[in-house]
Chain A
Amino acid sequence: MKFNFWYFTSLIVSLIVAIPILTIFFSFFESTTNYFEILKNTFLLEYIFNSFILLLGVLILTFILGVGSAYMVSFYNFPGVNFFKWALILSFAVPPYIYAYSLTAFFENYGTAFTILKSLFGEGDYNRSIPKFDGMLGAILSVSFSLFVYVYILTRASFYYQSQNLIELGKNLGFSKLKSFTSIILPSARPAIVAGLSLVAMETLSDFGAVSFFGINTLTTGIYNSWISFDDLAFANQLSFYLLIFIFVLFILENFSRKKARYHSPTKGGFKQKEKINLTGIKSFMIFSTCALILLFSFLFPLSQMLYWTIIFPKNFFDLNFQQLFINTMILVFLSCLTLIIFSFLSNYGNRVSRSKFLSILTTFSISGYAIPGVILAVAFITFIAWFDNTVVDFFELKSIKRIFIGSILGLVLVYFIRFYSLASNGIKSGYEKINRSIDESAYLIGYSKLKTFLNIHVPYLRNSVLLITILISLEIIRELPITLILRPFNFETFATTAYIYASQDLLEAAAVPSLFLIIIASFFILLTSKYILRDRDE
């Protein structure tokens, strides 16, 4: 085995990504404070139970919303179908915690719903008749409306690639529409649906903002609380260990279903473009209304709620230091994107030119970070730095490194790197997979060096992939809450942290302004990427 620059790069990335996993693993066997005993006897079961109920509820709802909307836009022609096709992904701009604020703001006593009813029908005791979406129900709704997009995007792509031949085969066998749907359409999209649901599950288990807002004790909030409230890092890590087992099962399931999904991708020969069914009259109206309602509940509702509050409480708008928040967010976005893309390029290019199995395994290992919840990453990172500082740094009698990594932009970017490396690396990898190796070889054969091949062939070809990855990472960082909250430097806020801090102080109307900006900026990024996300055939 030749140890060269490519090995070194991949090894560095793998080591950085391995930090949280190893830290959690070793911390699992450490003793904790008394808090562990108290928790074990009282709350631990509740944490697990709540996490499970939340997961179950969200999976059911995202399945209905995601598969249902994907089916409608893929199989039917009705007014606005092309609009809904991309508009439905806008809900991704609304993180669960902002949805939670909107839900509460709208339905709470004397909230927006009350105001609307009052202005329509005059004074009355409306609070009793307005339903309350808080607690577990609120959390399930918030997380589901924000995350169903994963299921929608993957299922829609799978439906799109289902050949018309398949549908015609069903007709030929005399299947009814329902039978075709349950026996042909749904089973053949199953890998995509499972992949979507697995992503939803991982995100749900790692959600911090919405569940903590509704005061639900899940494993993730438990981790945060044991660290923040009880200062018990070891126990936070132990809880993380349990959660990680949960997550890794999902991670494996998701990977497995993705591999299977390949078999359902179209081949050149057998693919026949699907003919959509044209709907008219009441059926058309019904399906249009359903899509419109999903768009309304998932995106327009939180957007309008935040907008409404921003308008009626203009002081909050003027008090918000928009410029600083924007600069802070963009600094994080810029530094993270730059590091992630450079390292993803280095490791993928290294893999390509060296064709080493060992390198390939290292790369696979490096992408496991995305499965680990942000809270765990942040806590494990702090644990590791503290351990390193107390042992290695002390041993050599060097200056403490805690300040360099904890509560600093460097530390923040490093943990974002671990969290989002898979997004960047997989993006570049899938771009590279489309470049046949014979393309590289053709370049060598017309006299291009490896560097020239990289600069003149790979970079221009992967330009679109890089653009897409940059936007997706930006979107994730703009929405990201727990890592930023835990590791941000003193007095360094982003839109997400500002919104969270206001909301946690019960100042929902003040949280509306940063939330609104966050939704607008995220929507802008989504619109930029919609062309790629919804790309119907590979170019």
Chain B
Amino acid sequence: MNKSFLEIKNVSFRAGGKTKVKNVSFNIEKKGDIICLLGPSGVGKTTILRTIAGLEKIKSGSIKLKDNILSSAKYHVEPENRNISLSFQENSLFPHYTVEKNIYLGAEAKKTNGKKKINPKKIIKLLNIEKILNKYPHQISAGEAQRAALARSLVTQPDLLLLDEPLSNVDQSFKEEIQVQLKKILNDLQITTIVVTHDSYEAFYLGNKCGLILDEKLKQYDDPYNVYHFPNSIEVVNFLNRGILIPAKVTGENSLENLDLGTIKGNFIKHYPKGSDVQLLLQPEDLEHDDKSNLKLEVIDRKFRGTNFIYTLKTRSNLHIPVFVHSHHVHQHEVDEKFGIKRPIYIDHIVCF
């Protein structure tokens, strides 16, 4: 059996004397994988990173890296003796050193043990921080500080890199570019990484796997595609906020019936007996627009998202259903207008609760 690169087994993560996340187990299978932890603010994502880095101790379970125990109830490797780097959300650059000195300190402090050496200059260029190298942390913006701290973490060539909201202060216009570059660097250097973020799109893009922390638990740990399309609980649906749950009755092997939308066909990902009352997950891309359809719903809101519109439609029983429409669609619908939904409704994978 292949051993996992990182193994977290039955760990309750604690900070300030309080348990933040209970009884968590997950593995990172192989070196170079990127894992994203998603969850609302204050749920304990950062605590997980701090504990893995050795800044917090654990009272139960174990954390193993490359089959070596780092933390357990009785054993604790000090942070300076783990080859793990944590890039904090807030500015953690050494205030009395320039950005350049901060970055090179990272490179000097840890020995590379014969590993392929990262060229700090390459990282600096990649993160576009050449212009601020001679500045002090208080002279740069929060976004620049975050990138500089990221550079410092990267040049230490850690066994495991932990990034706490690494791009939260980076301008939106620059964010996607950095995400691409970051993913490339991490893949090129095969740096195993755990990224904490509250931005699901960032998590879906960067992560080989995503973990959702909700209500003090790791609710789902899966591929980003599965997390989005096959959420395993109502809490996950609510957190991702990419669809709504509507009441429906199972009418056959591949169909169900909703009072407002009529018959809905598709493939159930889980079997439900005929006649069961369920909550069907309806995501914006599940319904198609059709001006000629006789199923018309009232538009109560329209959000322009550049590449698409998200219409919010009101049904007779006052459900608010989101529908995705390509932004080049010729016929735009105003609020209070009627909006046609293509029938029969077919959903590729039906998720019910």
CB within 8 Å of A: which B119-171 residues: 138, 149, 152, 156
Contact of A446 among B50, B96, B106, B138 (CB under 8 A): B106
A532 CB to closest chain B CB (Å) equals 16
Verify A446–B85 contact, CB threshold 8 A. Answer: yes
Contact of B80 among A434, A436, A445 (CB under 8 A): A445
Verify B92–A442 contact, CB threshold 8 A. Answer: yes
A453 CB to closest chain B CB (Å) equals 9
> Counting CB contacts under 8 A, is B295 at the interface?
no
In the bound assembly, the distance between CA atoms of A461 and B149 in angstroms comes to 18
> Counting CB contacts under 8 A, is A457 at the interface?
yes
Residue in B54, B92, B138 whose Cβ sees the most chain A Cβ within 10 Å:
B92
In the bound assembly, the distance between CA atoms of A435 and B138 in angstroms comes to 12
> Counting CB contacts under 8 A, is A444 at the interface?
yes
Interface footprint category on B: 20 to 34
Verify A445–B85 contact, CB threshold 8 A. Answer: yes
Verify B96–A444 contact, CB threshold 8 A. Answer: no
> Counting CB contacts under 8 A, is A539 at the interface?
yes
Instruction: Tell me which residues across on chain A come within 8 A of B78, comparing CB atoms.
Output: 444
Residue in A443, A447, A457 whose Cβ sees the most chain B Cβ within 10 Å:
A447
Given contacts A438-B88, A441-B55, A441-B86, contact A448 B95 (CB under 8 A): no
Verify B84–A445 contact, CB threshold 8 A. Answer: yes
Chain A residue, CB-CB nearest to B97: A460
Verify A449–B92 contact, CB threshold 8 A. Answer: no
Verify B94–A449 contact, CB threshold 8 A. Answer: no
> Counting CB contacts under 8 A, is B190 at the interface?
no
Verify B94–A436 contact, CB threshold 8 A. Answer: no
Chain A residue, CB-CB nearest to B105: A446
Verify A442–B138 contact, CB threshold 8 A. Answer: no
Given contacts A436-B90, A441-B86, A441-B88, contact A448 B96 (CB under 8 A): no
Contact of B79 among A439, A444, A457 (CB under 8 A): A444
> Counting CB contacts under 8 A, is B109 at the interface?
yes
Taken residue by residue from 435 to 479, chain A's Cβ proximity to chain B (1 for < 8 Å, 0 otherwise) reads as 110110111111111000000010011000000000000000000
CB within 8 Å of A: which B211-254 residues: none
B127 CB to closest chain A CB (Å) equals 17
Given contacts A438-B90, A539-B138, contact A444 B95 (CB under 8 A): no
Given contacts A438-B88, A441-B55, contact A448 B94 (CB under 8 A): no
A378 CB to closest chain B CB (Å) equals 40
B33 CB to closest chain A CB (Å) equals 20
Instruction: Tell me which residues across on chain B come within 8 A of A446, comparing CB atoms.
Output: 85, 105-106, 109-110, 152, 156
In the bound assembly, the distance between CA atoms of A419 and B197 in angstroms comes to 50
B253 CB to closest chain A CB (Å) equals 54
Instruction: Tell me which residues across on chain B come within 8 A of A434, comparing CB atoms.
Output: 95
Instruction: Tell me which residues across on chain B come within 8 A of A460, comparing CB atoms.
Output: 96
Verify B90–A445 contact, CB threshold 8 A. Answer: no
> Counting CB contacts under 8 A, is B91 at the interface?
yes
> Counting CB contacts under 8 A, is B53 at the interface?
yes
Chain B residue, CB-CB nearest to A539: B138
In the bound assembly, the distance between CA atoms of A449 and B110 in angstroms comes to 12
In the bound assembly, the distance between CA atoms of A442 and B50 in angstroms comes to 11
Verify A441–B80 contact, CB threshold 8 A. Answer: no
Verify B94–A445 contact, CB threshold 8 A. Answer: no
In the bound assembly, the distance between CA atoms of A171 and B105 in angstroms comes to 51
Instruction: Tell me which residues across on chain A come within 8 A of B95, comparing CB atoms.
Output: 434-435, 439, 461
Verify B92–A439 contact, CB threshold 8 A. Answer: yes
B163 CB to closest chain A CB (Å) equals 12
Instruction: Tell me which residues across on chain A come within 8 A of B105, comparing CB atoms.
Output: 446
In the bound assembly, the distance between CA atoms of A438 and B53 in angstroms comes to 12
Instruction: Tell me which residues across on chain A come within 8 A of B110, comparing CB atoms.
Output: 446-447
A459 CB to closest chain B CB (Å) equals 10
Contact of A448 among B54, B85, B90, B109 (CB under 8 A): B109
B214 CB to closest chain A CB (Å) equals 26
Verify B96–A436 contact, CB threshold 8 A. Answer: no
In the bound assembly, the distance between CA atoms of A274 and B95 in angstroms comes to 27
Given contacts A441-B86, A446-B106, contact A461 B96 (CB under 8 A): yes
Given contacts A439-B94, A460-B96, A461-B96, contact A445 B86 (CB under 8 A): yes
Instruction: Tell me which residues across on chain B come within 8 A of A461, comparing CB atoms.
Output: 94-96
Verify B109–A438 contact, CB threshold 8 A. Answer: no
A329 CB to closest chain B CB (Å) equals 32
Contact of A444 among B55, B90, B106, B149 (CB under 8 A): B55
In the bound assembly, the distance between CA atoms of A445 and B87 in angstroms comes to 9
In the bound assembly, the distance between CA atoms of A443 and B54 in angstroms comes to 13
Residue in A444, A445, A449 whose Cβ sees the most chain B Cβ within 10 Å:
A445
B35 CB to closest chain A CB (Å) equals 18
In the bound assembly, the distance between CA atoms of A442 and B151 in angstroms comes to 13
In the bound assembly, the distance between CA atoms of A159 and B55 in angstroms comes to 41
B147 CB to closest chain A CB (Å) equals 15
Instruction: Tell me which residues across on chain B come within 8 A of A444, comparing CB atoms.
Output: 54-55, 78-80
In the bound assembly, the distance between CA atoms of A434 and B96 in angstroms comes to 12
Taken residue by residue from 95 to 114, chain B's Cβ proximity to chain A (1 for < 8 Å, 0 otherwise) reads as 11000000001100110000
Instruction: Tell me which residues across on chain B come within 8 A of A443, comparing CB atoms.
Output: 94
Give A residues with C-beta under 8 Å from B: 434-436, 438-439, 441-449, 457, 460-461, 539
Task: List the 9 shortest-distance A-B pairs measured between CB atoms, nearest first.
Answer: A438-B92, A444-B79, A446-B109, A442-B92, A438-B88, A447-B109, A461-B96, A444-B80, A447-B110
User: What are 23 residue pairs bridging A and B, where the CB atoms are less than 8 Å apart in the complex?
Assistant: A434-B95, A435-B95, A438-B88, A439-B92, A439-B93, A439-B94, A441-B53, A441-B79, A442-B88, A442-B149, A444-B55, A444-B78, A444-B80, A445-B53, A445-B84, A445-B85, A446-B105, A447-B80, A447-B110, A447-B156, A457-B94, A461-B96, A539-B138
